[in-house]
């Protein structure tokens, strides 16, 4: 069996419950994941992995699948490159998503690419990928496992130096729709001196704008997960960080743009962990104070619920 997962870290994490389902129901099967480098570390403990570069075309991916000899292929992406690779793989069973008729060309093409399709509209992404597994197996309403991401003892040992009760993911993504770093500083201040967490590419930005905060720069995904696991509450804008927190059952406040929230929140909210969603409206001075208040209230609720 094989799956194609050519997206960012967060989406790859949300695919891991489906891989766990394959392992459970096909314990003897060899499983291969074609994934970008960002997802390789996530998938490697669960199955065989081949890293795919952004430059590789669908023919190259199909050749990898044919060489592996996959009997079935799950296309866990809705992009054309993955669908074409799935179609050209030679697999007996090819499973992917069915677009709706708002995209008529893509809808008709998907019927050609895949033997079995699932719609999955209105569901969380992890449930959608689980539906692909159900279609492959010819089963339905299977339990969906948690996100699979398990730090090792050495990661917990390193994380012990970063013990904190509150944490916030610092990224320029907070500063959109007219909001600025100064507004982000106001929100962070309301969290009462949290541990700041930041990716390597954004470390210089964070140290420039938040010199007063204790900052943890994540260079190892599993160590980062162990640091999050030590938190009592974690605050983040809508990034893959929320899904790392969910994997370790960390109570999480996840901030989404108010625009398109009806579509985005059901699909990408934290999965199977205590969480609250805050909607970030279009910028106004009143909205800055509104988000400040909502963050404080959400953190207090999760804090109290955690005991």
User: Which percentage of the chain shows pLDDT scores above 90?
Assistant: 87
As to burial, measured by CB atoms within 10 angstroms (0-12 exposed, 13-18 middle, 19+ buried), residue 28 is exposed
In CATH terms, the superfamily for domain 2-137 is: Glycogen Phosphorylase B; (3.40.50.2000)
pLDDT score of 102 more than 90: no
pLDDT at 101 over 70: no
pLDDT at 187: 95
Residue 103 pLDDT class (50, 70, 90 cuts) = low
Length of the chain: 307
Residue ranges of the chain that CATH labels 3.40.50.2000: 2-137, 153-305
Q: What is the pLDDT of residues 183-210, one digit of tens each?
A: 999 999 999 889 999 999 999 999 999 9
> What mean pLDDT, rounded, does the chain reach?
93
What CATH number should be reported for the domain whose range is 153-305? 3.40.50.2000
Q: What are the tens digits of pLDDT across the range 46-93?
A: 999 999 998 999 999 999 999 999 999 999 998 899 999 999 999 999
Q: What is the CA radius of gyration of the chain?
A: 20
Q: Are 231 and 168 in contact (CB under 8 A)?
A: no
CA distance 255 to 269: 9
In this prediction, what percent of the chain has a pLDDT beyond 70?
A: 98
Q: Rounded CA gap, 252 and 73, in Å? A: 34
The token duo for 150 is: 């398990």
Mean pLDDT score, 159-188: 96
Condensed to tens digits (0 to 9), the pLDDT of residues 11-57 reads 999 999 999 999 999 999 999 999 998 889 899 999 999 999 989 99
| pLDDT tens-digit series, residues 260-281 | 999 999 999 999 999 999 999 9
């Amino acid at each position: 069996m094989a799956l194609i997962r050519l997206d960012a870290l967060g989406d790859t994490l949300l695919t891991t419950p489906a891989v766990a389902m394959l392992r459970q129901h096909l314990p003897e099967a060899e499983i291969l994941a074609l994934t970008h480098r960002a997802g390789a570390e996530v998938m490697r403990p669960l199955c065989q992995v081949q890293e795919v570069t952004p430059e590789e075309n669908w023919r190259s991916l199909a050749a990898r699948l044919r060489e592996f000899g996959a009997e079935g292929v799950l296309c866990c992406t809705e992009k054309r490159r993955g669908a074409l690779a799935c179609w050209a793989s030679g697999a007996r069973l090819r499973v992917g998503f069915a677009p709706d008729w708002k995209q008529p060309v893509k809808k008709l093409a998907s019927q050609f690419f895949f033997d079995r399709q699932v719609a999955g509209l209105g569901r969380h992404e992890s449930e959608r990928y689980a539906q692909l597994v159900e279609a492959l197996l010819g089963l339905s309403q299977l339990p969906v496992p948690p996100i699979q991401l398990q730090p090792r003892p050495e990661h917990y040992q390193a994380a012990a130096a970063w013990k904190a009760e509150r944490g916030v993911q610092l990224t320029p993504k907070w500063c959109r729709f007219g909001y600025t770093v100064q507004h982000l500083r106001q929100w962070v201040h309301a969290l009462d001196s949290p541990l700041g967490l930041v990716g390597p590419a954004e470390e210089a930005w964070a140290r420039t704008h938040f010199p007063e905060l204790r900052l943890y720069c994540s260079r190892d995904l599993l160590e980062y997960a162990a640091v999050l696991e030590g938190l009592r509450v974690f605050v983040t804008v809508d990034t893959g960080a929320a899904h790392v927190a969910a994997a370790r059952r960390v109570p999480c406040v996840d901030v989404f743009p108010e625009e398109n929230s009806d579509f985005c929140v059901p699909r990408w909210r934290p999965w199977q962990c205590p969480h609250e969603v805050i909607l970030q409206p279009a910028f106004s001075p009143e909205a800055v104070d509104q988000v400040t208040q909502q963050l404080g209230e959400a953190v207090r609720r999760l804090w109290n619920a955690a005991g």
